[in-house]
Amino acid sequence: MTIDRTEVDGKVVLRVAGRMDAENAVLFERECESCLTDGVRALVIDLTDLKYVSSMGLRSFVMIGQKLKEKGGDFRICCLTGLVRQVFEITRLNQVLPLHDSLESALVGG
Amino acid sequence: MPDTPKTLTLIAKPASLGSVTEFVRMGAREAELPDLHIRQLELLIEEIFINISRYSYPENSPGSVTISYAVPKAGELHVEVGDQGIEFDPLSAPAPDLTLSLEERPVGGLGIYLLKTLAGSLSYRREQGWNRLRFGISAES
């Protein structure tokens, strides 16, 4: 798994690629935590190139979403495909985390 | 097509996940499963294996896991996972409440639900000290 961090219009975009599983989900969590520590309150996760996520990865999304909400921040996720989209739908995380079809739409407003 | 089950036995520890995944991928290739089904298979085996390696055996005393697969016909893969840890039937685990808001949601507890939802067939039996969990994945589902 690789995570690229960029800033667009005052929002931090983390582009996560590869596979997020029980072994490395914690790395994603740490990267998000470090954004929160840096005072970031608008976080966009771009999953265009994420091919796989297991329940340990979903756990990280829930945890970060909760932390950001607690701080009054804005957490958005975009560009889910294949299995990743399927597991967000099965677990109904698509109902509680804001999902966007494109990075452009995830960057609008907020 | 050969239908002799292939078997892998290894110590139940999270660090072995890569070897386990690679093993079932061989089965997926044999069964000629499409990409999405291969990823589903990887997810199922991860949820099962990580669960066993975390909870089945006493901490500091990991036991073994035996995984076998068979390809009854093209497009179909059967996998059985056996361990001799504490008795645990994932089919009896209560379903998570998916209607809760983000704030109310427990962070974990989705693995078994994914397993039950994505497996084409799923069965458990306790047999002479073994937990035996079987699941199937079919290109047609």
DSSP A86-108: HHHHHTTHHHHS-EESSHHHHHS
A2-102: CATH superfamily: STAS domain (3.30.750.24)
Q: Which residues on chain A are in Cβ contact (under 8 Å) with B47? A: 54-55
> Exposure of A48 by Cβ count < 10 A (0-12 exposed, 13-18 middle, 19+ buried)?
middle
Please give the helix or strand (H or E) that residue B110 lies within, else none: none
- The per-residue pLDDT for B75 is 97
Render pLDDT for A73-102 as a digit per residue (tens, 0 to 9).
999 999 999 999 999 999 999 999 999 999
Render pLDDT for A6-54 as a digit per residue (tens, 0 to 9).
999 889 999 999 999 999 999 999 999 999 999 999 999 999 999 999 9
Please name the residue of chain B whose CA is at the shortest distance from the CA of residue A54.
Answer: B43
Two tokens, residue B17? 């996940």
CB contact under 8 A, B36 and A21: no
Degrees, nearest 5: CA angle A1-A14-A51: 40
Of B14, B39, B105, the CB nearest to A96: B105
Cβ of residue B105 closer than 8 Å to a chain A Cβ = yes
Distance from the Cα of A10 to chain B's closest Cα (Å) equals: 25
The band of A109, judged by pLDDT with boundaries at 50, 70 and 90, is confident
> Model ipTM?
0.93
- Which domains are present in chain B? 6-138 (3.30.565.10)
Each residue's pLDDT, cut to its tens digit, for chain B (141 residues) gives 456 679 999 999 999 999 999 999 999 999 999 999 999 999 999 999 999 999 999 988 989 999 999 999 999 999 999 999 999 999 999 999 999 999 999 988 899 999 999 999 999 999 999 999 999 999 987
Please give the helix or strand (H or E) that residue B117 lies within, else none: helix B111-118
CB contact under 8 A, A69 and B102: yes
Please name the residue of chain B whose CA is at the shortest distance from the CA of residue A98.
Answer: B102
Please give the helix or strand (H or E) that residue B51 lies within, else none: helix B35-55
> Count of A–B CB contacts within 8 Å?
70
Render pLDDT for B66-104 as a digit per residue (tens, 0 to 9).
999 999 999 999 999 999 999 999 999 999 999 999 999
Please give the helix or strand (H or E) that residue B120 lies within, else none: none
* Residue A59, helix vs strand vs coil: helix
Degrees, nearest 5: CA angle A102-A20-A57: 85
Whether residue B12 contacts residue B52, with contact meaning beta carbons closer than 8 Å, is answered with yes
